[in-house]
Structure 1
Amino acid sequence: MSCQNTNDKMNKAPITDSNPTTITAGNALSVQQKQIKHYKKEPLYYIYIDHEQCFFDILVNDIPAFQYFKDGGIMSQVTLNNYIAKSGKQKITYRLYPQTKREYGEGFKELTPYTRFKLTLYSRDNADSLTSFDKRVQVFEHTNLKKEDGKTFIGAGLPYYEYTVEFNATVPYEQSPTLETAVDLKSMDKELLEKKTVEAYNFFRKIISEKNKDQYFSLVFNSDCRQIKSEYYTDEYLKETGNEDLFYFETPSFKLEPLENYTMKIYGDGKLVGLEHASKDIRLQGKSSIWGKYNAKEGGVRVRFLKILLYIPKGKDTFEIW
């Protein structure tokens, strides 16, 4: 590592990277292709959720994995591997909120006696492309706890309910860098941490607003690689999805909204930090504070949220994107 003079340190960016080579928008995909690795067995863990009369957040190892603040149910699976760093004990936490708005009928201010939440965890071998789904294994099924009558939701009457279940995972990879050695952000002064986080978010927003796509792809490179490795991407799939982020730079109508009305959230057992909307509007609730609007081809205005979580690797004093 080269030495830095005092002026360099004073002007150090609030988000940096630890890439082994220079990453640009032009070479990110080809370098990522070299990260693809396949194994004899590729366990893929995913959940299905069945719920009623509630909104919810899903966290895996205290990292936000999925949220649902819409009316009606969800049918698609939620893949967990990106949040599983290595083999061993894992935890899934669900947080339930009252369904404050419904398409038909009034919403609820509290969780109702009839709140229902069922989570089913499966594992299948991604390497078995022919019979993977047929041979999937149900790891466990969990249904929300009930009161002594066996019918009433245990959290009835509450504005919020949280529960954690654990399971053991076996994966052929170990994510690197790891959060295990990252700086414990809870030990930092809260006001200072928020100031640094806001500075980092504004820095990232500026990169996008000024169309600095090379710096953008460099900063998100390790985060992208983690997902590529843990979800066993194929070369074909990576080619289809690897340049999706160019949308932010090549869509003339896309414009970021101001960074405002946010709340700081700490995740990853104290190792990750991010800014989220503080609004109770279900269209924004829990969403990233980095977001923008654009004119959709089919007409109308649509929005996109850019969720980033930040951590400080051991031995560094600047954030990186997890």
Structure 2
Amino acid sequence: MKNLLILFFFVTMSCQTTTNKMIKAPITESNPTAITAGNALSIKEKMIKHFPKEPLYYVYMDHEQCFFEILVNDIPAFRYFQDGGIMSPVLLNNFIAKSGKQKLTYRLYPHNEREQGEGFKELTPYTRFNLTLYSRDNADTLTSFDKQVKVLEHVNPKKEDGKTFIGAGLPYYEYTVEFNANVPYEQSPSLDAAVDLRTMDKEVLEEKAVEAYKYFGKLVGEKNKDQYFSLVFNSDMRQLQSEYYTPEHLKENGKDDLFYFDTPSFKLEPLENYAMKIYGDGKLVCLEHRSTDTRLRGRSSIWGKYNAEEGGVRVRFLRILLYIPKGKDTFEIW
């Protein structure tokens, strides 16, 4: 009887061990080496390549009476839900995976909320959205605007009268233009090797996405720096390489990542009131706020508040896009 009990105990523990081994985190990584908070910066610096020519692609927007979003190759690149205009350019390189044809999409929404005056439920006849795409060499730091090259200029379409915005009266308007980019890098891994998430059951996909977001939020909330830096490493490298970061820029970037762990007052808000969105021509998924509040609209559902040094409460959003590499069954961060 004693031997049977010992055998039963051994079999039970073996089953539990096997079960534990089978449990996978909802987000995994495929880094070239083990990444921690302590070594991430030095590894990034060694991996970033520099080239004789380092083209940067960026757009300027001229807009009136609309909020807007910019997507590059169906990946969210920029959003603007504020009154007033924006003067700064939006850099696109992080969303250009390799040389060749690129898609640039803008989505316009009516000014439903305004700091002054009444909002609009529909896009007005006077809605304006024009954009100009430029390219310049990253090395031209002193004369960048003298040597920039105009790649594309787009004026939003008008009705037959030549004055009225073509989308007047609509609650939403979308337009896509294409351009050719020539970059010296090729991002890896590629979304070409990712699962098309549109083929999955929508409820199952959302359950997996929610689980992944909760897992990632928990890592940040529990100040697990090593796991955080490991999971975001490939995503960081994509941006750092495409924007040709220098060691000086890398150090500033590293300080920003540490904010979530070195700011005692930073606390995450509950994951709620979210909508699942699919981007990247079906290869990327994320959770965004459903709220129509312009401060939250379209923002990541992982966010938190902190006490600013200059006084008052501020917020930060941690946007992650998830994909599943072919041959795997867990998400990675894009």
TM-score range, shorter-chain basis?
over 0.9
Query: Could you say which residue in structure 1 is the equivalent of 2:315?
Result: 303
Distance in 2 separating the partners of 1:243 and 1:9: 35
From 201, 215, 219, the counterpart of 1:189: 201
Of 238, 243, 250, which residue of structure 2 is paired with 1:226? 238
Give 1:286 deviation, angstroms.
0.2
Q: Which amino acid aligns with 1:265?
A: K
Q: Which ranges in structure 2 are unaligned for 5 or more consecutive residues? A: 1-16
Number of the residue aligned with 2:55: 43
Report the Cα distance in structure 2 between the residues aligned to 1:87 and 1:6, rounded to whole angstroms.
46
Residue 93 of structure 1 aligns with which residue?
105
Which of 315, 319, 322 matches 2:331?
319
**Counterpart of 1:260?**
272
What's the CA shift for 1:129?
A: 3.5
How far apart are residue 296 of structure 1 and its match? 0.5
Select the residue among 78, 89, 103 that pairs with 1:66: 78
Question: What is the SS of the residue equivalent to 2:166?
Answer: coil
Which secondary structure does the structure 2 equivalent of 1:73 belong to? coil
Match in the other structure for 2:174 = 162
Q: Which runs of 4+ in 1 moved over 6 A?
A: none
Residue 217, structure 1, aligned to residue 229, structure 2: yes
- Aligned partner of 1:110 in structure 2 is 122
Q: 1:79 aligns with which of 74, 78, 91?
A: 91
C-alpha distance in structure 2 between counterparts of 1:195 and 1:321, whole Å:
17
1:133: Cα distance to partner? 2.4
Give the Cα–Cα distance (whole angstroms) in 1 for the partners of residues 205 and 274 of structure 2.
14
Partner secondary structure for residue 60 of structure 2: strand
What secondary structure does 1:134 align onto? helix
Q: CA deviation at 1:7?
A: 2.5
Mapped pair 1:152 → 2:164: yes
How do residues 225-244 of structure 1 correspond to structure 2 at under 5 angstroms?
Answer: 225-244=237-256
Q: CA deviation at 1:146?
A: 0.5
1:60-115 deviations in Å (ceiling 9; x for gaps):
00000000000000011100000000000001000000011222211101000000
Contact 1:39 1:127 (8 Å CA) reproduced: no
The Cα shift of 1:10 comes to 3.2
Aligned counterpart in structure 2 of residue 22 of structure 1, from 31, 34, 45: 34
Which of residues 255, 276, 298 in structure 2 aligns to 1:286?
298
Displacement after TM superposition at 1:127 (Å): 2.6
Q: Check whether the contact 1:29–1:243 (CA below 8 A) recurs between aligned residues.
A: no
CA deviations 1:158-209 (Å, max 9, x no partner) are: 0000000000000001000000110000000000000000000000000011
2:147 counterpart SS class: coil
Give the C-alpha shift of residue 315 in structure 1.
Answer: 1.4
- Please tell me whether the aligned partners of residues 292 and 304 of structure 1 are also in contact (alpha carbons under 8 angstroms): yes
Counterpart for residue 201 of structure 1: 213
| Ranges in structure 1 where 5+ consecutive residues have no aligned partner | none
Deviation at 1:237, TM superposition (A): 1.1
Which structure carries more helix by proportion? 2
TM norm structure 1? 0.97
Query: How far is 1:235 from its partner?
Result: 1.2
Matched residues in 2 for 1:186 and 1:9: separation?
A: 30
| Structure 1 Cα separation of the partners of residues 285 and 227 of structure 2 | 21
- C-alpha distance after superposition, 1:278-320 (max 9, x if no partner): 0111110000000000001111101000000000012111000
Give 1:31's aligned residue: 43
Aligned length: 318
Q: Aligned residues: percent identity?
A: 80
Q: Report deviation, 1:6.
A: 4.5
Give the superposition deviation at 1:11. Answer: 1.4
Q: Corresponding residue for 1:245?
A: 257
Superposed CA RMSD: 1.0
SS of residue paired to 1:91: strand
* Alpha-carbon distance in structure 1 between the residues aligned to 2:180 and 2:330: 33
* Contact 1:60 1:80 (C-alpha < 8 Å) held by counterparts: yes
Secondary structure of the equivalent of 1:133?
helix
Distance 2:90 2:283 in 1: 23
TM-score in terms of structure 2 length: 0.93
